[in-house]
Amino acid sequence: MKTDVLIVGGGPGGAAAAMFLAREGIKPVIVEAETFPRYHIGESMTGAGGKVLRDLGLAEEMYRRKYPTKQGVKVYGQSTAGSWFVPVTGRDENWNLFEWDTWQVRRSDFDKMMLDEAVSRGATLIHGMAGKPLLKSDGSVGGAQVRMADSDKVQDIESEVLLDCSGQATWLANRGGVTGPKYLGAYDKQIAIFSQVVDTVRDNGGTRETHKDNAVIFYQKKFHWGWFIPLDEQVVSVGIVCPSAYFLEKKESIRDFYIRELRELHPELSRRIPEIKLVEDVHVIPNYSYQVNGFCGKGFICIGDAHRFIDPIFSFGLTVTMREGQFVAPVVRAYLEGANRDKANPFAEHQLFCETGIDVLEDVLDSFWEHPLSFAHCVYSRYTEYMTDMFAGRIYGHERQPTPALLSFRKLLKREGERERSYETADQYSIPIGSRYHPERAAIWEVNSPVETTEKWLGPR
């Protein structure tokens, strides 16, 4: 079987890419291993994430499905008085801010809607599991072997461009040598434990800040926080994130740990859950933070979680993966029409563009934990507008980044200059900034390191 574009993974990244490709007149093949609907975490969107759906003409459908409309995110810190609110905003063509809303979604339902929509717009869906990538003699990726779900037979699907949208499975990066190495991210030592609860107390004060559907974040100690994300009128997704060491030290079952944390993490969280009634299993994801170097190359582009995930605290995951799905479409079209065919990395520009955007998020997240006072100063008074831009996911170069707020954070994080330099040569490109927090891991980031992947470096876990 042959196709111009093969998409591995039919999550929101793959589905968005397929729909934007359809707009360019390209009909891709999507390979998805699971049968939808299926459970998935990652439910709250930013303003820019919502904009992707609006750009796709899906706003009406989102309202029709009654997904909660998020007006902003409320954050409760150490003292209850110390809460702050960041409204969801958009920017018009003159870059004036306007008030907006975005959505929170039950992923089983949302992902199915997206994938069905991609198919109705022309994508072909194949139920199967991508195995080995097909490599051409010049080392470029020319498709994938796919184990078909119905027949259990392996079939080759050849492609001009393969988009890896496999999420945390990081399918291509785990296949050794096609992408650059996969590194640990700065939040790799964290663990997330989450479920869904009913009969909660929601805000309802008649303002945007007290809207019943808002996402709420709570934290007490550094790196120890919780989320409260309404999924419909009754059900709320609630998660706890903390250092793995803290979880292990407690010696509790996952469920006991979760229930105790709902009680103890923050008074504002326990107030919202007077009686704990779970309507979903308790799920766990440890070590979710990583970064793949060289995630674009001859015949392939990795999208969203398939190349980088930092941390979920400000809900940037869906935004990044769907936006990358949007950005990639004209790039793929140009390539199919002959652009950059002879380049060592035909998608180098796209890669740099994406990476620089996510770097903005990493700087924002790190500043939040490392320099809470200056962060709050920015949100409250100094750079309120720029902060709403970052919270809304407007993180890319054409969105007036880096903003003065971000430059100030970089000064604090002592990251000035360094990053620019690191972009200049291929080897140094995108040094994971996690290395700055884990100097003991530096060996794996050296250019000629004998250790190729973090998995190998860590040994059996």
Partner 1 sequence: MDEPEIKAAVKTYILNEYLPGEDPAALTDTTELMTTGILDSIAVLKVVTFLESHFGITLEPHEAVVENLNTLSAIARLVMSKKA
Ligand X SMILES: Cc1cc2nc3c(=O)[nH]c(=O)nc-3n(C[C@H](O)[C@H](O)[C@H](O)COP(=O)(O)OP(=O)(O)OC[C@H]3O[C@@H](n4cnc5c(N)ncnc54)[C@H](O)[C@@H]3O)c2cc1C
Residues that bind ligand X (CB under 6 A): 8-14, 31-34, 40-45, 129-130, 165-169, 171, 192, 239, 285, 288, 304-306, 312, 315, 317-319, 321
Query: Which one, of 34, 38, 19, lies nearest residue 107 by Cα?
Result: 38
> Residues 29, 30, 31, 35: what is their CA dihedral angle, to the nearest 10 degrees?
-130
Minimal CA–CA distance to 42: which of 11, 19, 8?
A: 11
Q: Is 92 exposed, middle or buried (0-12, 13-18, 19+ CB in 10 A)?
A: exposed
Count of residues interacting with partner 1 (CB under 8 A): 22
Residue whose CB is less far from partner 1, 81 or 447: 81
Comparing C-alpha atoms, which of 174, 179, 144, 162 is closest to residue 299?
162
Among 354, 302, 349, 293, smallest CA distance to 323 is for: 354
Q: For residue 206, what are the contacts with CB-CB under 8 A and spacing of at least 6?
A: none
**One of 110, 257, 368, 375 touching partner 1 (CB under 8 A):** 375
Between CA 332 and CA 382 the distance in angstroms is 40
Q: Is residue 124 within 8 Å of 29, Cβ to Cβ? A: yes
Q: Which of residues 58-87 bind partner 1 (CB under 8 A)?
A: 77-79, 81-82
Report the candidate in 421, 400, 323, 437 with the shortest Cα–Cα distance to residue 13: 323
With CB under 5 to 8 Å by kind, the binding choice for 77 among ligand X, partner 1, none is partner 1
382 scored as a contact of partner 1 (CB under 8 A): yes
Closer residue to ligand X (CB): 183 or 383: 183
Out of ligand X, partner 1, none, what residue 219 binds, judged by CB under 5 to 8 A for its kind, is none
- Torsion angle defined by CA atoms of residues 193, 194, 199 and 204, in that order, rounded to the nearest 10 degrees: 100
Q: Pick from partner 1, ligand X, none: which does 13 bind, CB < 5 to 8 A by kind?
A: ligand X
Q: Which residues contact 421 (CB under 8 A, 6 or more apart)?
A: 428
Residue 390 Cβ, how far from ligand X at the closest point, in Å? 15
Own/partner contacts of 364-370, CB < 8 Å, gap of 24 or more, are 364/314, 364/390, 364/406, 364/409, 365/187, 365/310, 365/311, 365/313, 365/314, 366/186, 366/409, 366/413, 366/433, 367/409, 367/412, 367/413, 368/313, 368/314, 369/222, 369/223, 370/412, 370/413
377 binds partner 1 (CB under 8 A): yes
Contact status: 409 vs partner 1 (CB under 8 A): yes
Tell me the closest approach of the beta carbon of residue 289 to ligand X, in angstroms: 9
Q: Which two tokens stand for residue 259?
A: 């229930």
Q: Which is nearer to partner 1, 295 or 409 (CB)?
A: 409
Phi-psi region of 9 (alpha: psi -120 to 50; beta: other; left: phi over 0): left
Residue with tokens 């390191």: 449
Minimal distance, residue 94 CB to ligand X, in Å:
28
Interaction between residue 218 and partner 1 (CB under 8 A): no
Name which of 318, 237, 241, 319 is nearest 278 in CA terms.
Answer: 237
417 lies in the site for partner 1, by CB under 8 A: no
Piece of the chain touching partner 1 by CB under 8 A; list 36-44, 296-304, 376-384, 452-460: 376-384
Whether the ω angle into residue 37 lies within 30 degrees of 0, i.e. cis, is: yes
Cα–Cα distance, 304 to 301 (Å, whole number)? 10
Min dist CB 362 to partner 1, Å, is 17
Q: Which does 304 bind (CB under 5 to 8 A by kind): ligand X, partner 1, none?
A: ligand X
| CB-nearer residue toward partner 1: 80 or 120 | 80
Q: Which is nearer to partner 1, 53 or 379 (CB)?
A: 379
Task: Report, in Å, the least distance between residue 175 CB and partner 1.
Answer: 42
Question: Closest approach of Cβ 127 to ligand X, in Å?
Answer: 9
Does residue 348 bind partner 1 (CB under 8 A)? no
Among 383, 393, 401, 445, binds partner 1 (CB under 8 A): 383
Task: Find which of partner 1, ligand X, none residue 383 binds, CB within 5 to 8 Å per kind.
Answer: partner 1
Residue 382 partner contact from partner 1, ligand X, none using kind-dependent CB cut-offs of 5 to 8 Å = partner 1
380 near partner 1, judged by CB under 8 A = yes
Q: Which one, 281 or 385, has the nearer CB to partner 1?
A: 385
CB of 187 to partner 1, least distance (A): 22
Residues lying near partner 1 in the complex (CB under 8 A): 77-79, 81-82, 371-378, 380-383, 405, 408-409, 411-412
